[in-house]
Structure 1
Amino acid sequence: MNNPAITNLVISLGAMQVARRIPMEDPTVLTYLRIGYVASQVISLAIYYFITLKIRKRNDLTVLKYVNPAAPMNPDAKPELVTTTVKDYDLAETGKAMRSLFVGVAFMCFLHGYLKYTQPLFIQGLMGLKSTLESNPAKLHLWGKKAEGDLARPFKTAGGLMESLTGKPVGPQTDAATIKAAEKAGGKTE
C-alpha cells in the first residue's frame, strides 16, 4: 500500500469505526481527545520545524529552474519562469505544508468549537500526523530518500478536474525547451 490515497481511505475508515466506540459524551474522554488532537498538531509542527532546520543546515544552493504553467482560469496569464535554489524551494514547500496544517487546525476549530462535532478530533489527529510524515519534505529530509522520480524537484502536483479537461500540463515544466521559451518571453525570476 504505497498509494497515499488508499492508505488515507483505509485509516479514515478504520478511525471512524474506532471513533464510534469511543464514548465522546464523557467530558473526561472529550478532554483526552482534545489533548490528543493538539498534541498531534504540535508534533507535526515540530517535525516541520526540524525539517526546516535540516534544510538550512544542508544549505543546498544548487540552481533550480522551472516554468510554472499559466493559471487555467485566467486568459491573460502567461507561464512564469522561476529560478531559485534547492534550499529556497524546499523551504517554500515546507512553508506551504505548515500553512496547510494551520488551515486544518482552523477548520477543526470551526467543526469542533462552533458546530460541536467531536469525531473529527480523533480522525484528524491521526490523519494530520500521517500527512506530515508522508509529505515530500519529510520524505527527503526526514526519511533520507533520494530526490528522484516523484521526489524530483520541482514536485509534481496531482492534476484536478480542470487540468484533465483542458489537457494542459500539470505542475511545473522542467524541460529545456520550455525554460528557453520562457526566458525569451522575459519570464519572472525569483
Structure 2
Amino acid sequence: MNAAASNLVISLGAMQVARKLDFDDPQVLLGVRIAYVTVQAVILGAYYYASYKIKQKNDMTVLKYVEPASPMSGGEQGNLVTTTIRDYDLAETSKLIRSVFMGVAMMGFMHLYMQYTQPLFVQALMGLKNLYDAKPVAIHVLGRPAEGDLKRPFKVGGFMGAAANPQTDKAAIDEAEKRIAKDE
C-alpha cells in the first residue's frame, strides 16, 4: 500500500476513534492538545536532527536529474537539475519542515478560531505516520540505505501512483543538456 492510501486508511480510522472521545471533557481536550503539540515538537526535532546529520555527512556527490514538467506546462520538457546529495537532502528536509509549520498554522486556525477539536487527534497520529514516511529521516536518522524507494531523487507518489517522477536515465539528462546548450 502506498503512502497516500495508508494515510487515508489511518485518517478514517482515527476519525472513528475521535468520534468516541468526549472532547467536551476539559481533561480529554487538554490531553489531546498536549499530545498534538508534543507530536509536532518531536517531528520538528527529528527534521532538525536530520538536517544536522546531513550537514555533518557533507556528501558532495553530484546528483543530476530532469525534474518533471508541470502538468499545466502544455507538454514542455522538465528542467535539468544539477545539485549535490547534501543540498538535495537539505532542500527535501526544508520542504518537510515548511509542511509542518503550514499544518500547525492550519490546525491553529481550525482549532482556535473555528473550534474544531477532532482534527487535533487525527493530525497527531498523521504527523507520526508522516515522520515515519519521511525519506531524509529514514536515511539520516534511521540509517536505512539510499536504495529502492529511498534512492535520490525521491519519487513523488500520487494517490494511485499517477505522479510524474524525476528522470535519472542518461538519455533524459543528455537531452536536457543539449536543450540547454541549444538555448544558449
- TM normalised by structure 2 equals 0.88
With 21-30 and 69-78 compared, the bigger mean Cα shift is at 69-78
Q: Distance in 2 between matches of 1:11 and 1:69?
A: 29
With 143-152 and 2-11 compared, the bigger mean Cα shift is at 2-11
**One-letter code aligned to 2:101:** F
**One-letter code aligned to 2:166:** P
Residue 20 of structure 1, CA deviation: 2.1
Change (3 A) 1:78 1:6: closer
Contact kept? 2:67, 2:79, Cα under 8 Å: yes
Q: Distance in 2 between matches of 1:125 and 1:156?
A: 25
User: Are 2:141 and 1:147 aligned?
Assistant: no
With 143-152 and 41-50 compared, the bigger mean Cα shift is at 143-152
Residue 6 of structure 1, CA deviation: 4.7
User: Are 2:161 and 1:170 aligned?
Assistant: no
Change (3 A) 1:6 1:68: closer
Unaligned runs of 5+ in 1: none
Partner SS state of residue 73, structure 2: coil
Q: Distance in 2 between matches of 1:81 and 1:6?
A: 31
Unaligned runs of 5+ in 2: none
User: Are 2:181 and 1:182 aligned?
Assistant: no
User: Are 2:133 and 1:134 aligned?
Assistant: yes
Kindly report which structure 2 residues correspond to 1:45-56, keeping only aligned pairs within 5 A, or say none. Answer: 45-56=44-55
Identity of aligned residues (%): 54
Q: Distance in 2 between matches of 1:93 and 1:121?
A: 25
1:30 maps to what in 2?
29
Residue 114 of structure 1, CA deviation: 1.9
CA RMSD of aligned residues (A): 2.2
Partner SS state of residue 59, structure 2: coil
**One-letter code aligned to 2:92:** E
Q: Distance in 2 between matches of 1:13 and 1:185?
A: 46
Partner SS state of residue 111, structure 2: helix
Change (3 A) 1:72 1:112: same
Contact kept? 2:5, 2:159, Cα under 8 Å: no
1:67-121 CA deviation, whole Å, 9 max, x = no partner? Answer: 1122221238542111100010000011111111111112211221222110110
With 47-56 and 137-146 compared, the bigger mean Cα shift is at 137-146
Structure with greater helix percent: 2
User: Are 2:56 and 1:62 aligned?
Assistant: no
Moved over 4 A (4+): none
Q: Distance in 2 between matches of 1:159 and 1:123?
A: 21
Q: Distance in 1 between matches of 2:120 and 2:143?
A: 31
Residue 38 of structure 1, CA deviation: 1.0
Q: Distance in 2 between matches of 1:51 and 1:39?
A: 18
**One-letter code aligned to 1:119:** Q
Partner SS state of residue 112, structure 1: helix
Contact kept? 2:139, 2:146, Cα under 8 Å: yes
With 141-150 and 85-94 compared, the bigger mean Cα shift is at 141-150
